[in-house]
Structure 1
Amino acid sequence: RLALSMSPTSSAIDSSLDSIYLVFNTLLGIVHLLSQELEHAKRQAIDIKALSRQLDTLLSHYQQLEIPARVPRHLPVDREVEDASDLLDASTMGPVRYLANAAVKKPASEADNPTVTDDAPSEQAQLAGLREFRQQLMIDDNHGRVDHDLTLKTVSARDEIVKLFAATYHDDLTGFAPFGRDAQTVQSITNTPPLQLRVAGEDYAVMLPCDFSFSFA
């Protein structure tokens, strides 16, 4: 058995697990790999001790660090190398460089709020709109009709007419109350041409698809 372990033939080396030549080749390969790693370590320009001290200092106050801008994600493809999977080339790849721009945040205050306009009509405007609504639309005290183009003087009258026409699409008329008066019925008049509602002095016009009639309780 010892003679078989010492035999230099390939058949003896392949069949004997304790072949001296197999052990020698294994040890030779290990020495070769260790030599490569030693030469690679000698070529390293990174001071491991200094780097360790920097990391320790960083970890001692990492909670107070402020990153003013988002740090770009680093991927291996950021660097141009022949073999991106070869970690032995890490020392020659160079660092990923980026510029972090400081962002100054100015806290908002009440003075920065935009000016809010009061779009609620005044009492005088409401009374003028109600007066025009009665003059232009009402047939009697409880019934009215919109069957032609109108050029109105008040915005409130125009807006109430538009809101009232929207009731033609609803079965429940709760909430439809022009100038505070609850509507009882609102019906569109089919087979009539579209009509326009304008306010004097405005280029804006509201188009209604057809005429409609209404009544109050």
Structure 2
Amino acid sequence: MTHRILIVEDEPSIAELIAINLSHAGYEVEKAMQTDLAISMMKDQLPSLIILDWMLPGKSGVQFAKELRSNDRTKALPILMLTAKSEESDKVLGLDSGADDYVTKPFSPKELVARVRAILRRQAPIEDTGPLTVGPLKLDPSSHRVVAVWPSIDPKPIALGPTEFRLLQFFMANPERVHSRGNLLDKVWGNEVYIEERTVDVHIKRLRAALAPYECDRYIETVRGSGYRITKTPTES
């Protein structure tokens, strides 16, 4: 299957540079100069991934990413944020808005294509683990569903983005083990990816936020100086 990439970038020269490199890499490419046009282009069919510029006319990429994440139809759509902002606080803001990865301008076209490949590769299951259960959490890789099951309460479905799903799946397949940020990058993101370890913290925060309404966030524990784990017996707060 050929992946279709939607580039939302208002600078024609940058959009064309990205489009040419992605086309040479075997992807189908569409371009939109602002978010309204991007929304119109996604009405009939969603792209495989969006490359989204931070600074756009009318509505910023950060605002648009938040809207995509709050919509049931587009909440799992992979987003690569593209921006001239390079401070760590800006990177965190971009990731917190819902982006799966972040590239700063000026950028290497080869690196950008590598990041696109990595994000799309993460859409495949980590491994065929079969259904998993840790505490009240139940995860089914085949149906891509996560539910919280508490006594005397109907199962509650939990909506997760693609990276958070893979992260939770990896944790649940390896309960009680402490995983360093580097290990998580290798196992969940893939060891060929240009991603900083700080990105792991952002996605852990996002995973916990998704689990919190169902009182499941406490099952994801931080082990100071070592990393993260999922436990069957969380410490009562």
Shorter-chain TM-score bucket reads: under 0.3
Larger Rg belongs to: 1
Please, what TM-score do these two structures have when normalized by structure 2? 0.19
| Structure with the higher fraction of residues in strand conformation | 2
Which structure dedicates a bigger proportion of its chain to helix? 1
